[in-house]
Amino acid sequence: MAKQEELVFGIHAVKALIEHAPERFIELWLLKGREDDRLMPITNLAQQYGIPAQMASRKVLDDKSEGEQHQGVVARVKPGKVFTEADLEDILAEAERKEQAPFLLILDGVTDPHNLGACLRNADAAGVQAIIVPKDNAARLTATVRKVAVGAAESVPLVQVTNLSRTMKALQQMGVWIIGTAGETDTCLYDVKLAGPMALVMGAEGKGMRRLTRENCDQLVKLPMAGSVSSLNVSVATGICLFEIVRQRLAV
């Protein structure tokens, strides 16, 4: 059964949602006695869009956010659109309309909401048009993810697909080159041409990509690691890889 409402908290997450979808707001709570430069823009935006804001104590906000760091603002909202594989063609068509080469991020088995939020933030900064995740065994778009993403959850579609391998094959048929990161390859990220229509695949920390996901990549690359640590946090590695693609695209 679909959820009838969601919680959103954190200054950037709530502000971005007001700007993108003010019609979704049911209730908005602000920390009583706090009227600083960070919270006032949300108060002003809420007034502008006719969203009633209630003042509440810190304990009330702590309870509503289940102990998460809410930064003095919590909202109850209607659920947003859930993107599926059926939306990918439209997302790529929109990129083509803007004369942008397809640029996608695929996360295989990333279950930590903080990592997903950070990857959304990286993706937004790099100009990624969508993040693709499997429907099962993957982090969902929660209040924590939105807060960590500092607004990027409203600008980068999170596409949930039933069969990741099938989706990857469909992207390849649409001319998208799929590059995956894997520690066992000898090919360094910096030695590969990364311009053109592209999807970057990042696997879960520790386990990496699943076998079928790895087999459906057009090319595997790795980051050069000079120290004793064998791998980076997935969101850090994602940022490095995305911006190497950005660097090469800007150089063309």
In the chain, the amino acid numbered 224 is P
Residue 127 annotated as part of some ligand binding site = no
Pairwise CA distance, residues 215 & 208, whole Å: 13
Pairwise CA distance, residues 96 & 60, whole Å: 47
Residue 223 annotated as part of some ligand binding site = yes
Residue 206 annotated as part of some ligand binding site = no
DSSP letters spanning 30-94: EETT---TTTHHHHHHHHHTT--EEEE-HHHHHHHTTTS--TTEEEEE---PPEEGGGHHHHHHH
Task: Report whether 200 contacts 179 (CB < 8 A).
Answer: yes
Residues annotated within the binding site are: 203, 223, 232
Residues annotated within the binding site for S-adenosyl-L-methionine are: 203, 223, 232
